[in-house]
């Protein structure tokens, strides 16, 4: 604590200082303390250089200085501006000049007034970031990247989603499974190998996966045909790199999983969208799309994002098409573990007698995304090619997580874990569906999904899914519209709502806010 004589000694040189968000000013040898109710924001640091000899009115000078700071990003969205009274003292101008400047900024959309709260920089500011983007466009480091990298830069599809209500793909781990995984982790904490491993992954994990898939999904496989990857995304990328040359045509469901579409685009494939209906991808349209299609990417058990399941008749027709055209089927079975009221249809790979299916699965939904473990099951003839390409791009999978998950499967914990997780997700699904029916049925059509960890809500009254998502975002709700997932001229509209790891309280709050948003559109 500073003593009185020390303060007296230095008091004459003090001009302006801030103490815990309060402003102190020395006037005629006296120290006055201006207590503010809020801590000062970045707006207080903006230098307003007033030229009192200029013919430009002072109010316009303030307006121009603040606008430049907002557009340049030095005053971020949501920053609170000083009150007109505080700004008068801060910039040593008249209150009328400040009011004039604020009125111009308000009329042009640079700031928003919030009754009882203050004036804030608007979220959607005209011209913001334009200068920065122009500079980036001239940056040689940006101009010289590959077309694949430029494609990735232009899309947010691979950005990690915020872990909030309605975001698809979250995983909830119950305490029993968490305790088992922790114990297994301690068992293998010192087991990292000092040698390079098999590019396909540890033999014991591949054996455990093959055993599980044969029993649970009816796959035709053994451990030699299993390739461990860093999640399903690397599995899709590995399939694309191994099977497709630049310029070759790949058919994809429409709408489809955006990161998968990007993986094929990145290696130079020409994409052919095939529409999806209530029975999955329309194989008859695929059959009419030319003879040069090299592969088709499908999510037959639970189509992403619409949720439809590929009918058995279309499954057989798709396999026959691939055999006749010497084409490949990339089957992404990303959430087949979660079937709530009946057994799932057989995996395509299990009924394929021609060896045309590359099967992809993941532990990101069934266990945890942070494990970064996915896998492929490939036809026997393709094993050497996949093994070689896997070695080039990632040498071999990390050992620790493989050991933990291998023990989790081989010791019989996985089936019990899935049973508990399935019941938890069923409850979350039913809760969300009930809230949606009660609160949003006038604006959204929703059906109870029989599989998966998300549901699709389709707008009524010609509402646009992107506009709904933007309005919801302003209300603090993250929604995923599906129309950007389409390449067709007339995309399907819908909102994707995840319910895994969704508590009743979060579902209650989020659907209440969503209903308010829909009523206001």
- List the chain domain ranges: 1-35, 37-144, 198-408, 416-520
Residue 234: pLDDT band with limits 50, 70, 90: very high
Per-residue model confidence as pLDDT tens digits over 358-382: 999 998 888 877 888 999 999 999 9
Residue 272 has pLDDT above 50, yes or no: yes
CA distance 357 to 331: 7
Share of the chain above pLDDT 70, in %: 80
Can you give the pLDDT at residue 33? 40
- Which CATH class for the 416-520 domain? alpha beta
Name the helix (H) or strand (E) containing 455: strand 454-459
Residue 45: pLDDT band with limits 50, 70, 90: low
Residue pair 280/308 in contact (Cβ under 8 Å)? The answer is: yes
Can you give the pLDDT at residue 380? 93
Region 483-494 average pLDDT: 91
Residue 499 has pLDDT above 50, yes or no: yes
DSSP lists the bridge partners of residue 113 as: 119
Q: Exposed, middle or buried, 394 (CB in 10 Å: 0-12/13-18/19+)? A: middle
CA distance 446 to 397: 41
Per-residue model confidence as pLDDT tens digits over 77-88: 888 888 888 888
Phi-psi region of 280 (alpha: psi -120 to 50; beta: other; left: phi over 0): left
Per-residue model confidence as pLDDT tens digits over 95-108: 989 998 898 888 77
Per-residue model confidence as pLDDT tens digits over 20-35: 334 444 444 444 444 3
| b/e code 230-265 from CB counts within 10 Å (16+ = b) | bbbbbbbbbbbbbbbeeebbbbbbbbbbbebbbbbb
Can you give the pLDDT at residue 195? 65
Q: At what angle do helices 383-394 and 231-243 cross, to 10 degrees?
A: 120
Can you give the pLDDT at residue 161? 54
Q: Exposed, middle or buried, 69 (CB in 10 Å: 0-12/13-18/19+)? A: buried
For the chain, the average pLDDT equals 82
Highest mean pLDDT among 27-41, 74-88, 291-305: 291-305
Per-residue model confidence as pLDDT tens digits over 243-262: 999 999 999 999 999 999 99
Q: At what angle do helices 504-520 and 413-440 cross, to 10 degrees?
A: 30
Can you give the pLDDT at residue 137? 45
198-408 maps to CATH 3.40.50.720: no
Region 192-201 average pLDDT: 76
Can you give the pLDDT at residue 152? 61
CA distance 425 to 422: 5
**Fold adopted by 37-144:** Arc Repressor Mutant, subunit A (1.10.10)
Residue 450: pLDDT band with limits 50, 70, 90: confident
Phi-psi region of 162 (alpha: psi -120 to 50; beta: other; left: phi over 0): beta
DSSP string, 109-175: TSEEEETTTEEEE-SS-TTTTHHHHHHHHT-HHHHTS-HHHHHHHT--TTSPPP-STB-TT-----H
Region 236-245 average pLDDT: 94
């Amino acid at each position: 604590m500073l003593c009185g004589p020390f303060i007296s000694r230095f008091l004459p040189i003090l001009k302006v200082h801030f103490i815990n968000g309060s402003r102190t000013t020395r006037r005629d040898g006296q120290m006055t303390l201006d207590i503010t109710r809020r801590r000062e924001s970045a707006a207080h640091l903006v230098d307003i250089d007033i030229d009192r000899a200029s013919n430009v009115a002072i109010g316009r000078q303030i307006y121009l200085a603040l606008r430049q700071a907002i557009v340049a990003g030095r005053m971020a969205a949501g920053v609170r501006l000083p009150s007109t009274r505080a700004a008068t003292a801060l910039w040593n101008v008249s209150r009328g000049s400040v009011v004039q400047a604020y009125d111009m900024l308000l009329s042009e959309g640079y700031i928003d007034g919030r009754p009882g709260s203050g004036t804030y920089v608007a979220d959607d500011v005209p011209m913001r970031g334009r200068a920065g983007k122009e500079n980036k466009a001239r940056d040689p480091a940006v101009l010289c990247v590959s077309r694949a990298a430029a494609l990735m830069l232009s899309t947010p599809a691979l950005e990690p989603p915020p872990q909030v209500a309605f975001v698809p793909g979250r995983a909830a781990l119950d305490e029993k499974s968490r305790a088992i995984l922790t114990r297994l982790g301690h068992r293998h904490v010192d087991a990292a190998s000092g040698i390079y491993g098999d590019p396909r992954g540890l033999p014991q994990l591949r054996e455990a996966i093959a055993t599980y898939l044969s029993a649970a999904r009816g796959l035709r496989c053994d451990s030699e045909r299993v390739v461990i990857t860093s999640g399903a995304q690397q599995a899709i990328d590995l399939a694309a790199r191994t099977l497709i040359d630049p310029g070759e045509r790949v058919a994809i469901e429409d709408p489809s999983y955006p990161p998968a579409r990007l993986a094929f685009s990145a290696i130079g494939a020409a994409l052919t969208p095939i529409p999806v209906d209530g029975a999955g991808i329309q194989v008859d349209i695929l059959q009419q799309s030319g003879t040069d299609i090299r592969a088709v990417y499908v999510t037959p058990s639970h189509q992403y994002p619409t949720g439809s399941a590929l009918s058995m008749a279309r499954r057989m027709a798709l396999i026959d098409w691939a055999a006749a055209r010497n084409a490949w089927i990339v089957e992404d079975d990303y959430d087949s573990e979660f079937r709530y009221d009946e057994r799932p249809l057989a995996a395509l790979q299990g009924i394929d007698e021609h060896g045309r299916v590359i099967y992809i699965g993941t532990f990101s939904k069934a266990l945890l995304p942070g494990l970064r473990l996915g896998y492929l099951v490939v036809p026997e003839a393709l094993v050497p090619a996949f093994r070689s390409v896997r070695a080039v791009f990632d040498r071999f999978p990390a050992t620790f997580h493989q050991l933990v998950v291998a023990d989790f499967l081989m010791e019989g914990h996985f089936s019990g874990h899935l049973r508990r997780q399935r019941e938890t997700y069923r409850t979350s699904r039913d809760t969300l569906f009930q809230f949606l029916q009660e609160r949003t049925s006038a604006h959204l059509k929703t059906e109870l999904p029989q599989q998966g960890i998300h549901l699709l809500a389709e707008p009524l009254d010609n509402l646009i899914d992107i506009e709904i998502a933007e309005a919801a975002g302003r209300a603090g709700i993250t929604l995923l519209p599906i129309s950007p997932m389409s390449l067709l001229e007339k995309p399907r509209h819908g909102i994707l709502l995840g319910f895994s790891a969704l508590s009743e309280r979060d579902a209650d709050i989020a659907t209440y806010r969503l209903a308010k948003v829909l009523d206001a559109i």
